[in-house]
């Protein structure tokens, strides 16, 4: 398994492309796991479609367009739809994919929905590429932290997918007092390295226990 942790979904950006093209290939099939939405914004299929449901939606063209830079055809990109997929169809999309792509949003809600669909074991059996941005990055960690923001009023630790265990990630890092205090707490409490992705400009490739930092990533040691 190769894990790609991103701050944003602009994987066609020049600072990322040359590194990621070594992994992302034109023949790959992609399962986009769009389970991280906010319940306050997505209450129905029509709400979900507004964000992800085809060319006129908010994120679809940006996500598929960035993948097309690697030669991946639109017909080889499938979205997991919380409102129309069953446990069986969602699992089949994951099993048939070379790349699992977790989207940004609320990682704890995404994890709850993955459990609801009985997808945790299916995902952990995947031996291809797992990638994701923001929430989709931290969900790849066995345990992750979230610094206080508009969605999470206090620093908290959450269960993720047990793929990566040796470090924590601070996404959207802007060197704020709140973020720095949270990182300091994580270092003190967990005694593990924190990698902070500068806003829209940082990424990690993890493969066979090796970590490659891309772009602007700050490293904080305990």
Domain encompassing residue 132: 2-220
Q: Which pLDDT score, from 0 to 100, does residue 18 have? A: 98
Task: Look at the chain and report how many structural domains it folds into.
Answer: 1
What is d(CA 47, CA 18) in angstroms, rounded to the nearest whole number?
Answer: 35
Answering whether pTM is above 0.85, one says yes
pLDDT in tens, the chain (222 residues): 999 999 999 999 999 999 999 999 999 999 999 999 999 999 999 999 999 998 889 999 999 999 999 999 999 999 999 999 999 999 999 999 999 999 999 999 999 999 999 999 999 999 999 999 999 999 999 999 999 999 999 999 999 999 999 999 999 999 999 999 999 999 999 999 999 999 999 999 999 999 999 999 999 999
For residue 211, give both structure tokens: 């970590």
Q: What CATH number is attached to the domain comprising 195?
A: 3.40.50.880
Q: How far is CA 120 from CA 3, 111, 160, in A?
A: 16, 9, 10
Q: Which pLDDT score, from 0 to 100, does residue 55 have? A: 87
Tallying the residues shown for the chain, one arrives at 222
Q: Which pLDDT score, from 0 to 100, does residue 54 have? A: 87
């Amino acid at each position: 398994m190769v894990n790609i942790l991103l701050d944003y979904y602009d994987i066609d950006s020049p600072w990322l492309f040359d590194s990621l093209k070594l992994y992302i290939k034109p023949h790959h099939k992609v399962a986009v796991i769009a389970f991280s939405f906010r319940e306050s914004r997505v209450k129905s299929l029509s709400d979900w479609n507004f964000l992800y449901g085809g060319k006129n939606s908010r994120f679809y063209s940006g996500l598929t367009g960035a993948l097309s830079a690697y030669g991946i055809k639109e017909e080889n990109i499938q979205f997991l739809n919380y409102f129309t997929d069953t446990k069986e169809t969602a699992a089949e999309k994951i099993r048939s994919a070379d790349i699992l792509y977790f989207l940004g949003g609320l990682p704890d809600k995404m994890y709850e929905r993955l459990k609801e669909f009985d997808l945790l074991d299916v995902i952990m059996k995947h031996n291809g590429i797992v990638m994701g941005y923001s929430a989709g990055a931290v969900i790849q960690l066995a345990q992750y932290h979230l610094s206080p923001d508009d969605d999470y009023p206090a620093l908290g630790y959450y269960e993720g997918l047990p793929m990566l265990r040796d470090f924590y990630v601070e996404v959207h890092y802007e060197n704020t007092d709140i973020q720095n205090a949270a990182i300091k707490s994580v270092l003190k409490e967990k005694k593990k390295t924190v990698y902070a992705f500068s806003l829209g400009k940082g990424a990690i490739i993890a493969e066979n226990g090796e970590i490659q930092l891309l772009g602007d990533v700050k490293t904080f040691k305990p």
